[in-house]
Amino acid sequence: MNLAISTLSDILSKGLSVMRTSPQAEEFKKCLPEDLQKVIKEISFSYQLSWQIISGHLQKIYGKYGDPEFCLSAYYSSEAYCKNRHKIRRCPDLPLIDENDIQQMLSEEAEYKKTVQELLHVSKEEESTDTIHRMASLLGIYPDKRPNALYRYLVAKELISGTEWPQIMERANQNKNLIELQIPRHHVKTLLMVVSNMLAKTFLPGYLLDFPATGSVMTQPRNRYYYRGENAYFRSSKASCFRSAHLSEHSFIQQIIDRLRLYQCWETLDQFEAIQHWRYCQINYLALAQHYGFRTQMLDITSDLKTALFFACCKFGPDRKWHPLDNSDFAHRNSRPYIASIGGDSRYGVIYRSPSEITDLRWSIEPDDTALEIIIPVGYQPFMRCSHQHGYMLLTNEEYDLLQDDRFDKFKFRLTEDICNWIYTEMNQGDLIYPNDDVPDISPEIEALNQQNEISKKVFDTMIEDFDMSNDDIQHIITLLKQRGISIVNTVTPIKPEKLSQINQSYTAQYAMEKVGITPQLSPIFSV
């Protein structure tokens, strides 16, 4: 077979094409008065552009010390970074932490959230020089040396000499008329004021922003770190479709079958009223499929340490419920047969941690529309699990391994029944992550699609269109599918019509939004 899509990476890269370009900016412009529409050249909700503007203004204040490339270099040379191991080849390479270390990490996260609340409180006060200076200090962009500011690496303050500070202070308070940032012409703002207001918005729930691959996202409030928790040392940490056990036993045609089943999942999700009429942001079909157990090119990331600890200390049982790991799971290195078969170590949970602002800085300098290896928020979706898990996605390729990603600190901790039972209780037996009041349980039906041997003609045609296959390629694929017992049928009905009708009557898009309980925040960037 001489297909242009003969590798797994080629197949999965096509998955990004299903994420449509956000119509948010176009729709917003239509709502403006006609005379204003004529003046405005472009409207953007781009997260990347926001960070490019923030970085540009910080450079006007701090010079090279506000340049994102310089700040990234300073971070990678800092003591905070260098004291940890970032590229792991074997389990002994992972730094060992204990329960006291974990509690200290949780305490630091709690203090961070207190500072966020203080910032949001100050941001509601009447705008004044004092207010802006307090906000900037809390954020970490004021020319002072406040400890434990919300941002620590946006400005390389530790490299600024004493003689440079007076000039920096003067530039921070210079006036600047910034029409492109939706500031009326009669308002004159300082650079510090503009940057402070833009950064403060990232801590609000429901801030609408556009991202590559996913389009419009109704974001959750940012936190200091991104985390991932794994309940063993697996030798590598790859997206599910790239794991060696999967690749070794799956041929090219199985990869095609997996992709068709993923498309089938998306088509099924589209039958729900809550998804059909969700107008607040775009649906992240890839993340939703991931949460229902489909193999994708994304790694699950969270901004909540307790969520990461839960996945590092718990297991999903055959009864379709979460349970804490027990002694039989981690007493010995080879306690769990699967972990032993891949040369892993069952005794440890593994925590990955990366400062969220390092990703923010990378957004400033990455090529436009970059999606691979950039952490993107899942945000608020009509099905609630993603938001309860403070979910983010890391889109990867076949070569990517989280254990080798130098943005992340990696730690191991010895699994014990005490710590596993503690986090299990803290997360209400998993209900805080997988809430019982979510959309009526469709997990059995959706997950069954992973074993489905019937593919709808609509789904098959969609894949053919995405891959732009020749007629010969199509016929060859059909032949291979038949050999694997996969048939193309007119329709596939994984959910009984009566159940679907019941769900659609009770769980509407409006009801889902009420459950989210937030008001979307808009702050477009204008160019005239």
Is 489 domain-assigned? yes
Token representation of residue 459: 């789904």
pLDDT of 513 strictly over 50: yes
The verdict on residue 510 lying in a domain is yes
The phi, psi pair for 219, rounded to 5°, reads -75, 155
Give the pLDDT confidence score for residue 20 in this predicted structure: 38
Give the pLDDT band of residue 370 (cuts 50, 70, 90): low
* Model confidence at 12: pLDDT above 50: no
298 contacts 286 by C-beta, under 8 angstroms: yes
Main-chain dihedrals φ then ψ at residue 322, nearest 5 degrees:
-85, 145
Is 270 part of a structural domain of the chain? yes
Residue 15 above 50 pLDDT? no
Whether residue 448 is contained in a domain is answered as yes
Average pLDDT over residues 34-48: 80
User: What is the per-residue pLDDT for 325?
Assistant: 98
Residue-level pLDDT at 332: 97
6-15, 61-70, 339-348, 448-457: which has the minimum mean pLDDT? 6-15
* Residue 24 to residue 319: CA distance in whole angstroms: 42
- Report the pLDDT averaged over residues 231-244: 89
pLDDT confidence tier of residue 373, bands split at 50, 70 and 90 = confident
- Residue 276 CA: distances (Å) to CA of 195, 200, 205, 433: 37, 32, 23, 25
User: Cα–Cα distance between 292 and 295 in angstroms, integer?
Assistant: 9
- State the residue range of the domain holding 443: 1-19+248-279+439-519
Chain mean pLDDT for the chain:
86
- When mean pLDDT is compared across 43-52, 108-117, 331-340, the lowest value belongs to 43-52
Instruction: State pLDDT tens for residues 151-205.
Output: 999 999 999 998 998 888 888 877 654 444 444 444 446 888 889 999 999 999 9
Among the listed residues 305, 310, 313, the one whose alpha carbon sits nearest the alpha carbon of residue 224: 305
Say whether pLDDT at 301 is over 90. yes
Residue at 304: amino acid letter: D
Q: Is residue 1 part of a domain?
A: yes
Q: What is the DSSP letter of 46?
A: B
Q: Which band of pLDDT confidence, cut at 50, 70 and 90, is reported for residue 432?
A: confident
Residue 252's Cα: distance from chain center in Å?
29
Q: What is the pLDDT of residue 97?
A: 97
Q: Is residue 485 situated within a structural domain?
A: yes
Strands (E) located in 15-56: 42-44
How many of the other CB atoms lie within 10 Å of CB of 294? 22
Asked, for residue 492, whether it belongs to a domain, the answer is: yes
The string of pLDDT tens digits covering residues 264-296 is: 999 999 999 999 999 888 899 988 888 888 888
Nearest partner of 265 among 298, 292, 233, 235, judged by Cα: 292
pLDDT surpassing 90 at residue 340 = yes
Rg from Cα positions in the chain: 25
Report yes or no on 259 lying in a domain: yes
| CA distance linking residue 126 with residue 131, whole number of Å | 7
The residue among 416 and 435 whose pLDDT is bigger is 416
Unique residue bearing structure tokens 């609408």: 208
Residue 353 has pLDDT above 90, yes or no: yes
Domain count, the chain: 1
Distance CA 473, CA 220 (A): 43
Residue among 226, 220, 227, 228 at smallest CA distance from 116: 220
Residue 40 has pLDDT above 60, yes or no: yes
Predicted confidence (pLDDT) at residue 459 exceeds the cutoff of 80: yes
Q: Which of 131, 174, 157 has its CA nearest to residue 71?
A: 157
Q: Give residue 528's pLDDT band: very low, low, confident or very high (50, 70, 90).
A: low
Given this model, what pLDDT does residue 96 score?
96
Please report the pLDDT score of residue 191 as a whole number: 83
The vertex-146 CA angle with 145 and 147, nearest 5°, equals 110
Give the pLDDT score at 2.
39
DSSP 52: H
137 touches 149 (CB < 8 A): yes
Provide the pLDDT for residue 177: 47
Q: CA–CA distance from 355 to each of 225, 227, 360, 413 (Å)? A: 4, 9, 9, 20
Token pair listed for 415: 């699994």
CB within 8 A of 41, min separation 6: which ones? Answer: 527, 528
pLDDT at 214 over 90: no
pLDDT of residue 444: 83
- Bridge partners for 412 per DSSP: 96, 350
- Give the length of the chain: 528
Q: Look up residue 225 and give its two tokens.
A: 């770190």
Could you give the count of Cα atoms lying within 13 Å of 260 in the half-sphere of its Cβ?
Answer: 26
* Local confidence band at 490 (pLDDT 50, 70, 90 cut-offs): very high
Most confident of the following: 191-205, 233-247, 297-311: 297-311
Low-confidence winner among 19-23, 214-218, 515-519 (lowest mean pLDDT): 19-23
pLDDT for the residue numbered 170: 84
Residue 417, pLDDT above cutoff 90: yes
Does an H or E element contain 412, and which? strand 409-414
